Amino acid sequence: MRTHYCGTITSAQIDEEVTLYGWVDRRRDHGGVIFLDMRDREGIVQVVFDPDTEEHFQRADRVRSEYVLEIKGRVRARSDATINPNMLTGEIEILGKKLEILNSAATPPFQLDQHIEVGEDVRLKYRYIDLRRPEMLEKLKLRSRVTSSIRRFMDENGFLDIETPILTKATPEGARDYLVPSRTHEGKFFALPQSPQLFKQLLMVSGMDRYYQIAKCFRDEDLRADRQPEFTQIDIETSFMNDQQIMAITERMIQGLFKEVLDVDLGDFPHMPYAEAMSRFGSDKPDLRIPLELVDVDDLMRQVDFKVFNGPANDAKGRVAALKVTGGAQISRKQIDGYTKFVSIYGAKGLAWIKINDITAGIEGLQSPILKFMPEDIITQMMARLAVTDGDIVFFGADKTSIVNEALGALRVKVGEDQGLIKGDWAPLWVVDFPMFEENSEGNLTSLHHPFTAPACSPEALEKNPEQALSIAYDMVLNGTELGGGSVRIHQADMQQAVFRVLGISDEEAQEKFGFLLDALKYGAPPHGGLAFGLDRLVMLMTGAKSIRDVIAFPKTQSAACVMTDAPGLADNKQLRELNIRLREKPKAE
Amino acid sequence: MRTHYCGTITSAQIDEEVTLYGWVDRRRDHGGVIFLDMRDREGIVQVVFDPDTEEHFQRADRVRSEYVLEIKGRVRARSDATINPNMLTGEIEILGKKLEILNSAATPPFQLDQHIEVGEDVRLKYRYIDLRRPEMLEKLKLRSRVTSSIRRFMDENGFLDIETPILTKATPEGARDYLVPSRTHEGKFFALPQSPQLFKQLLMVSGMDRYYQIAKCFRDEDLRADRQPEFTQIDIETSFMNDQQIMAITERMIQGLFKEVLDVDLGDFPHMPYAEAMSRFGSDKPDLRIPLELVDVDDLMRQVDFKVFNGPANDAKGRVAALKVTGGAQISRKQIDGYTKFVSIYGAKGLAWIKINDITAGIEGLQSPILKFMPEDIITQMMARLAVTDGDIVFFGADKTSIVNEALGALRVKVGEDQGLIKGDWAPLWVVDFPMFEENSEGNLTSLHHPFTAPACSPEALEKNPEQALSIAYDMVLNGTELGGGSVRIHQADMQQAVFRVLGISDEEAQEKFGFLLDALKYGAPPHGGLAFGLDRLVMLMTGAKSIRDVIAFPKTQSAACVMTDAPGLADNKQLRELNIRLREKPKAE
């Protein structure tokens, strides 16, 4: 048996005999002596074989990169000249006495330190080699520590770990379902769950009181950089707790996690209403590390004779907002052109700006293509409101509120990053008081969260003024990323039906799709609520990973394929026949 | 917030003010006072409302079974006459002061204490009500404690919890795969994993060293009482450990689990070779609590002039074995007829027997329809070998070895249970030294475990004498149930290819199906091995559940459906079109 992991041996083990297992990271021949860097999960240690140990020296001479070895030897101090302060094991080395080659290795398709050059496709095809890289190993190790810490917290707080089905029924959660044809029920299909939402609510109706699960969820969507067809959710539900209590306990969980795994003290999380977040940051997941804010100037712009501004300022669904960047006057015209292009992604038709060169010089001290459209007193009032000083720049957004928020919200983050304005490492917060509904592109109301979210009003008030209704929902945000979200759920059938009516879901449709939930609400459903965290995103944030694929052992590509196993693959006709399906033939090209 | 769970209040809380949340288990009206049995996850407590608290008394009067309440009150001792020693909370009651109705409940489709009468289909449809039964709650609570205990053990022993994909590639593990049509890769399908076998091996090649996962697995098989389409596996893999070390660490895990959760000391697990288990118990998962054994009598039966016996006795693939049941002479002819029918399920064509009435009387003291076919000295030798005493019965099996083993192995268990012979509560063991291959019905060799299992011999010896080859595999057996099984895996490509050749898998086919594994074995694969436990079965054993459905929160029926959510369901044409499939039309009836 191994006595130590390679990476853990220090001066404390000097003169000890050790047995190691691992891979040859590097082999060097130097002055008649062979140096092997032995690597395992915990790091690297240097092993030296000299010609005294003839048989083993010869074997050491034969080994190549990625050979798998068993090594026995004695730990000794390195000479002062050869100490490597960059390695944890850099003060010692192993004087090798025995070497067994447990397996040889063909020349790998890429060297671990050349992973950047080969491109991600090769790395994904040989994932088992790519995962040997210490950075990758560390990410998966940290992920394991994260789930372990969360599970311990959940256990200690009386949450039961309960599994919910993977083969289940389609429920319209917005995204496309993965379907699984049933062999025994001809022409019917299971759906893979987009979340365990309904099951966890039913567990509350069952009296489980406190439930959690680290659950696989599935969405058949077109993938973006931070999405995967299967992803993992830390899923939590509890009975008899209100929103404040649910937020408090999950906040403690995340605080404890960061303390334990990263030794970071997150402090108390501020609470911010959705309306305030949108108004000040143009986002419902603001990155509070960036000290930039949107400021409303609609009242001023109503008075200017410039349609681009006074149009949205006079429109109830429009907004004119300013974003002051301290010290931003140095931003070049070329950069501003870049930002103008950037905000156009979000639908903004332009990006007005004013540079403040000398505030004491009044309008003469300002520089901007739009000054000519504005009365001087308006400019003066605006500059006062924004509390500008010399060297600042102010950007403007003027459009439909949603476009201004998205464009300036994104610009705020981009400029903050570009200008190095980010303050501190971690900025958590709760966003609360979400609207129940939002208008979709067809002008119909849809749930902002999901239709099981409890409103903060009576069924009557909800149906009378659905646009005004707030929900008892909450999102946990960290550094501009939504870590998790949840809500108190509807626990009474009449409220659930009122919500369905607002959403234009007929009683019949509701009964067909959610009949079992509506039934359950009638048979003694307790008040309940919960939360779900995206584990992949949480681990990305904690490890600083740039891609979600870096925190998943065997991820899919952006076209939802696994290039290592070559999945998905063909099915044979016998299988398809058993499943009562056939492939759709393509219409022939003419 | 609640101060206590209902079921946890004892005399220690007398005079304390408590706040409870829960369900009305029962409501009684007695001498002008209202008694409510309040139930939550942890049990039941009695609450008394008297007319002094007018408003709350009236509410208490209105509540019915399964109403959800918040109750505040003071704990007081019951009078001696009303103490209920059958309840954990039976020495106290709560004098109710406040009662809030949090939700009402319609009359449930069945009363919790009438679950037997309504049948399983109704219970599964209203699963959220059935799960309120304390027996069901207890099973899921214990399941949660089991996974928690196992995870803690794994953490403490340096195993990393790593998730493997659910959307993956079909690998022929014997059973039928569930398929998932891919939208983005036309005409192709993912398969749901039957186990994470190949991924966990690749994690070892990646250097993860120690992996575990509590993983969902899927098999689209016709369901038996103890099967579910999705089931859960405690999946373990480790590098650089041999079979003895893997067995030792997983044995410690199971010992620790039983100690922690059931306060049971399982002791050390004996090891038994497969050949011995088959010979003595007719089973590779013998229930050692049953003190009955099969005894070979082939040598004796070769000499008798009775074809039923001398045929199999003279056949290299046949077996004649005897099963002595101490005290079994009292088994009636009718019971024997029942056992004869029972063994016929396993292909036995009959069930010969001898009752020992008076051993001192020689052949006269025996009773049996088959005595006439046997020479007296053979009978005498046989009785001596079996060490019979008065009152015993001996059953015989004579057929192909596999039929004798299955039939007498099953009979051994059945008679053991019927005759109340089971000794002790828990009998664990390891079965080891399995053959590498077995013959299937077409006479071809197939893997007894799976084709990645390491043989205990060289590739050359394996190919020369595959029928003789043993594997480095091990099964953990408890009370006649296979709790888990595993093996040391093949870590060298040439050995893996030798196994594929024995199995008649061409190089081309092997490359197509397992190319990524064969590649991985070439690039520095460490020696590795592991084990997988069936979590559902483990929890069944630990809770004494009769059905696998009792240890799963939302199980499927035997036709692989969920009667609560009505899954599987219909898919609309748009979805099917996107997935590039269509339903197969039935051939029209004529």
User: What's the rounded Cα separation, in Å, for the pair B537 and B440?
Assistant: 27
CA distance A288 to A427: 6
CB contact under 8 A, A570 and B187: yes
**Most A CBs within 10 Å, among B147, B166, B523, to test the A interface:** B523
Which two three-digit tokens encode residue A404?
Answer: 């201004």
- Are the Cβ atoms of B180 and A178 closer than 8 angstroms? yes
pLDDT digit string (tens) for A241-269?
999 999 999 999 999 999 999 999 999 99
What percent of chain A has pLDDT above 70? 99
Q: Round to whole Å and give the CA distance between B56 and B43.
A: 23
Distance from CA of B331 to the nearest CA of A (A): 43
**Nearest residue in B to A67, CA atom:** B524
3-state secondary structure labels for all residues of B55-118: HHHHHHHHCCCCCEEEEEEEEEECCHHHCCCCCCCCCEEEEEEEEEEEECECCCCCCHHHHHHH
SS3 A496: helix
What pLDDT, on the 0 to 100 scale, is given for residue B56?
94
Q: Which residues of B touch A206 (CB under 8 A)?
A: 127-129, 131-132, 137
For the segment B461-469, the average pLDDT, to the nearest whole number, is 95
Distance from CA of A41 to the nearest CA of B (A): 6
Residue B172: per-residue pLDDT? 60
DSSP A334: H
Structure tokens at A193: 């769950």
Report the amino acid identity of residue A237.
E
Examine the pLDDT at A28 and tell me if it is beyond 60: yes
Distance of residue A13 Cα from the nearest chain B Cα, in angstroms: 21
For residue A63, pLDDT beyond 70: yes
Q: How many CB pairs under 8 A join A and B?
A: 345
Mean pLDDT of B262-268: 97
Instruction: Count other Cβ atoms within 10 Å, centred on residue B176.
Output: 18
The pLDDT confidence band at residue A510, using thresholds 50, 70 and 90, is: confident
Give the model confidence (pLDDT) of B339-393 as tens digits.
Answer: 999 999 999 999 999 999 999 998 899 999 999 888 999 999 999 999 999 999 9
Tell me whether the omega of the peptide bond preceding residue B181 falls within 30 degrees of 0, making it cis. Answer: no
| Percent above pLDDT 90 for chain B | 87
3-class DSSP assignment, residue B271: strand
Q: Per the structure block, which two tokens stand in for B41?
A: 């996850």
**How much of chain A is helix, strand and coil, in % rounded to 5?**
35, 25, 35
- What is the model's pTM? 0.95
| Cβ pair A524:B569 closer than 8 A | no
Q: What's the pLDDT score for residue B510?
A: 87
Per-residue pLDDT, A452 = 93
Q: Cβ contacts (< 8 Å) between A570 and chain B: which residues?
A: 187-189
Q: Which residues of B touch A549 (CB under 8 A)?
A: none
pLDDT of residue B590: 45
Tens digit of pLDDT for each residue in B152-172? 999 999 999 999 999 999 876
CA of B491: how far to CAs of A566, B487, B553, in Å? Answer: 22, 12, 39
Angle A272-A275-A277 (CA atoms, 0-180°, nearest 5)?
A: 50
- In the block, tokens 């004529």 appear at B590
Residues 6+ positions from A88 with CB-CB distance below 8 Å:
A7, A8, A10, A43
pLDDT at A590 over 60: no
User: Mind listing the pLDDT tens digit for each residue in B110-120?
Assistant: 988 887 888 88
Judged by CB atoms closer than 8 Å, whether chains meet at B169 and A565 is answered as yes
DSSP state of A389: -
pLDDT of residue B305: 85
Using alpha carbons only, what angle is made at residue A57 by residues A55 and A61, rounded to the nearest 5 degrees? Answer: 115
Spell out which residues of chain A touch residue B205, defining contact as CB-CB under 8 Å. Answer: 128
All residues of chain A having their beta carbon less than 8 Å from the beta carbon of residue B207 are: 22-23, 39-41, 131-132, 137
* Paired tokens of A141: 């190790």
Task: Give the separation between CA A491 and CA A488, rounded to whole angstroms.
Answer: 9
**In this structure, what token pair is assigned to residue B290?**
């049953």
Could you list the beta-strand ranges (E) of A301-384.
Answer: 318-325, 352-356, 366-367
Q: Residue written as tokens 């299937």?
A: B440
Average pLDDT, chain B: 94
Contact A499, A490 (CB under 8 A): yes
ipTM for the predicted complex comes to 0.94
Q: Which of these ranges, A99-103, A184-188, A397-401, B225-229, has the smallest mean pLDDT?
A: B225-229
- DSSP run (H or E) holding B486: strand B481-488
CA angle B438, B440, B445 (to 5 degrees): 50
With CA atoms as reference, report the closest residue to B189 among B583, B579, B469, B584.
Answer: B579
CA distance from start to end of chain A: 68
Contact B189 A584 (CB under 8 A): no
The answer to whether the beta carbons of residues B406 and B400 sit under 8 Å apart is: no
Q: Which chain B residue's Cα is nearest to A517?
A: B565
DSSP classification of residue B350? -
Q: Please give the average per-residue pLDDT across B253-257, as a whole number.
A: 98
What CA–CA distance (Å, rounded) separates A49 from B407? 61
Is B152 annotated as ligand-binding?
no
User: Cα(B196)–Cα(B238) distance, rounded to whole angstroms?
Assistant: 14
Q: Which of A20-29, B216-225, B285-294, B411-420 has the lowest mean pLDDT?
A: B216-225
The β-bridge partners of B455 are B471
Closest CA to A577 of A167, A189, A179, A186: A186
How do residues A159-176 score in pLDDT, each as one tens digit?
999 999 999 998 765 789
Among A565, A570, A584, which would you mutate to test the B interface (most chain B Cβ atoms within 10 Å of its Cβ)?
A: A565
Question: Within 13 Å, how many C-alpha atoms sit on residue A517's CB side?
Answer: 24
Q: What is the mean pLDDT of chain A?
A: 94
B587 pLDDT more than 60:
no
Q: pLDDT-based confidence at B225, cuts 50/70/90? A: low
Q: By C-alpha distance, which of B111, B31, B123 is closest to B66?
A: B111
- Interchain pair A576, B584: CB under 8 A: yes
β strands within B185-339, DSSP E? 189-191, 210-218, 230-239, 271-273, 294-296, 318-325
Q: From the list A40, A104, A240, which residue is nearest B207 (CB)?
A: A40
Quote the pLDDT of residue B539.
98
Domains of chain B, with CATH numbers?
Answer: 6-103 (2.40.50.140), 290-423 (3.30.1360.30)
Look at residue A487 and tell me whether its pLDDT is greater than 60: yes
pLDDT value, residue B111: 87
Chain B residues closer than 8 Å to A191 by CB: 567, 569
pLDDT band at B512 (very low <50, low <70, confident <90, very high): confident
